[in-house]
Chains A and B, each alone.
Chain A
Amino acid sequence: MPLFALGFNFRPVFEAGGGVSTEGIGIWIAAILTLGIYSFLYKDNFFYKFSEYLFVGVSAGYTLVLTFHKYLKPSLIEPLQEYSRDFYHIITGASVPIVNPWMLSWQTHLVGNQFGSQFSFIFWFAVKVFLFYIFPAILGLMMISRVFPNAAWLSRFPLATIVGYGSGIMIVTTLHASVLEQIKASFVSFAPLFHMKGVDWSIIAQSANDFLLVLGLCCAIIYFYFSAEHKGVILGPASNFGIWVLMITFGASFGYTVMARISLLIGRFQFLLGDWMQLVK
């Protein structure tokens, strides 16, 4: 390779003692995919499209694996297996330890063997399994019914459940943490200003900052208040100052955005120049 002659020291694919290094191959694949995506900066082309589609495929695969192994298996399939196994063992009176604590409490209860306790056991077992696992699974299957246009309306039930849950939580928690607590924190105290001995610049600076913060907040809120025209002695200048505060906010946000985006670029170049070309340690 001519590049080696130029002093480049790429990560070798083969190990020193012979044999192929998995990491080496991986780094080469990663580098080629990275450069393929960067080729988009020149113009759209085959390598970019290839990497883009491959990415969508791999990430969909990741989602499926995650959904099965991490979501459905521990929260639906395994509990159902556990409950049915325990149920079977209790019913048949097998001398196998019962795993589930809820089922275990039933087993000790049943050992007393009072009349009717078997019925209530079966009843409550059915209710528990249905409510906790079968019913949400039915709702989940209703979600999948979207695939069939005629039955797609069934998906409204699971959607309504999720949206209702989310709204319920959000009403309370947002009101608490992001409205009331935030308003509370805006009630700054100027008391230290009146209790300081001599001239303490740190207290004065703190109070001035607090004052500016509250003033800026009020003016920015006035700017967002659309029920009256922003004119007159108070609303006019206040909403103007509000715009300034918001402009400074957006400017600072832009600065941070630039920073974040560049960081990602740095990460990729650290990989290309470090792991792949071995120029940087």
Chain B
Amino acid sequence: MALFNGFLIVFFIVLFAALIFVGQTLRTSQFLRRKLPLAFCFFMGVIIIFQFFIPPENPLYKEIEDLSTKWIQIISSFALVIGLISLVTMNFNKISRKYEDWQYAVVLLLGFFVTTFYGLRDGFEGKEFDFIFNYMYVPMQSTMFSILAFFVASAAFRAFRARSREATLLLTAAVIVMLGRVELGSVLWSYIPFIGNYFDVSDLAQWINKVFTTAGQRAILLGASLGYIAASFKILLGIERSYFGSEE
């Protein structure tokens, strides 16, 4: 099997070199650069739409499903590799040219290579990999995101002012929901004279969500979905091609 794996690696390297060579020689061809990728996109989209109209029992359905899923999975996996290549080269450059904060780039690369080494060696069952994930990745990521709590608090303090009728409505809805989603809110609510006895603030919050928020969210969902569909058509028909990059 080692022989075969070696062959596979050489095969892909040769393939890649050939691709780069072809890419460099044919780079001026407008047909290849522009028209063919658009045709590719159109073809792919039409096939997928067509597939929705085939009954699942039909063998053609299965073939299209199988093939398209495999293609997308393999291409997306390679797409992740580019991000990693650019991250690593960028940080190597930073170190070799002694840019500002280059010392931290060393930390980054160290983290990258250590994680990669243990991960590739033992897979996801390795003790060292587990250690890195549980005691470094998890705390760092969750702490990064939890910092936002402080900024949300500070934003609520600074920006949440009843300046107009609309702003007051926004503020009131927010306060009722915040009260209604914690039990302490219901307790405090029951001390409010008159209304406190008639209904609970958590019921009020649920009613707001069930009626107004559902209506508002549905309006947003409908608008966004129609926009999404229109954008998808534009992409398939080659009108929208910003995914090509900046030069076109």
Interface positions of B from 56 to 92, Cβ below 8 Å from A: 66-68, 70-88
Q: Which residue of A37, A81, A142, A152 is within 8 Å of B1 (Cβ)?
A: A81
- A174-195 CB contact bits vs B (8 Å, 1 = yes)? 1100110011001000000000
- 8 Å CB contact of A30 from B52, B139, B170: B139
Contact B73 A71 (CB under 8 A): yes
Q: What count of chain B residues pass the 8 Å CB interface test?
A: 136
Q: With a CB–CB cut-off of 8 A, which chain A residues contact B48?
A: 164-165, 168-169, 172
Are B44 and A153 neighbours in the complex by a CB distance under 8 Å? no
Indicate whether A111 reaches chain B with its CB closer than 8 angstroms.
Answer: no
Contact with B along A24-68 (1 / 0, CB 8 A): 011101110110011011000000011111111111111111011
Closest B residue, CB atoms, query A257: B152
A112 interfacial by beta-carbon distance below 8 Å: no
| B82 and A159 form a contact (CB under 8 A) | no
CA distance in complex: A174, B229 (Å):
7
Query: Would A49 and B104 be within 8 Å (CB), given that A209-B211, A252-B213 are in contact?
Result: yes
How close is B197's CB to chain A, nearest CB, in angstroms? 18
Q: How far is the CA of A57 from the CA of B146 in the complex (A)?
A: 20
Can you name the residue of chain B whose Cβ is closest to the Cβ of A156? B37
User: A133-165 CB contact bits vs B (8 Å, 1 = yes)?
Assistant: 101111111111111101111101111111111
The answer to whether A264 and B27 have CB atoms under 8 Å apart is no
Q: Are A170 and B228 in contact (CB under 8 A)?
A: yes
Q: Known interface pairs A38-B147, A220-B219. Does A245 touch B136 (Cβ–Cβ under 8 Å)?
A: no
- Contact among B76, B211, B225 for A178, CB-based, below 8 A: B225
- On whether the beta carbons of B178 and A255 are closer than 8 Å, the reply is yes
Q: Is the CB of A157 within 8 A of B70?
A: no
**Pair A158/B79 contact, Cβ less than 8 Å:** yes
Total CB contacts across the A-B interface at under 8 A: 428
* 8 Å CB contact of B16 from A80, A141, A153, A160: A141
Q: How far is the CB of A48 from chain B (nearest CB, A)?
A: 10
Contact A168 B46 (CB under 8 A): yes
What are the residues of chain B within 8 A of A166 when measuring CB–CB? 232
Given A62-B137, A252-B209, A264-B148, A53–B111 Cβ distance below 8 Å?
Answer: yes
Which one of B37, B74, B114, B176 lies within 8 Å of A133 (CB-CB)? B74
Q: Given the known A-B contacts A55-B141, A62-B133, A69-B123, are A136 and B75 also in contact in the complex, defined by CB atoms under 8 Å?
A: yes
Docked-complex contact B115 and A61, CB < 8 angstroms: yes
Q: Which residues of B have CB within 8 Å of A75? A: 70, 73-74, 77
B residues 1-56 near A (Cβ < 8 Å) are 1, 4-5, 8, 12, 15-16, 19-20, 22-24, 27, 32-33, 36-38, 40-49, 52
Q: How far is the CB of A133 from chain B (nearest CB, A)?
A: 7
Give every chain B residue within 8 A of A133 (Cβ-Cβ).
70, 74
Q: In A200-240, which residues have CB < 8 Å from any B CB?
A: 209, 212-217, 220-221, 223-224
Residues of A within 8 A of B233 (CB): 167, 171
> For the complex, is B187 an interface residue (Cβ under 8 Å from A)?
no
Q: Contacts A26-B134, A167-B232 known; A49 to B101 CB distance under 8 Å?
A: yes
Known: A60-B84, A75-B73, A136-B75. A247 touches B149 (CB 8 A): no
Residues in A whose Cβ lies below 8 Å from that of B219 = 216-217, 220-221, 223-224, 242, 245-246
- With a cutoff of 8 Å between Cβ atoms, the chain B residues found around residue A142 in the complex are 19, 23
- Top 8 closest pairs, chain A to chain B, by CB: A61-B115, A57-B111, A251-B173, A151-B23, A249-B216, A140-B78, A65-B119, A168-B48
18 A/B residue pairs, CB under 8 Å, sorted by A: A53-B107, A54-B136, A60-B83, A63-B80, A64-B119, A71-B77, A81-B5, A135-B71, A136-B75, A139-B74, A143-B81, A148-B23, A172-B52, A182-B225, A209-B211, A212-B215, A221-B219, A245-B216
- Identify the B interface with A (CB < 8 A): 1, 4-5, 8, 12, 15-16, 19-20, 22-24, 27, 32-33, 36-38, 40-49, 52, 66-68, 70-88, 101, 104-105, 107-116, 119-120, 123-124, 127, 129, 131-150, 152-153, 156, 166-167, 169-178, 181, 205, 207-223, 225-226, 228-229, 231-233, 235-236, 243-245
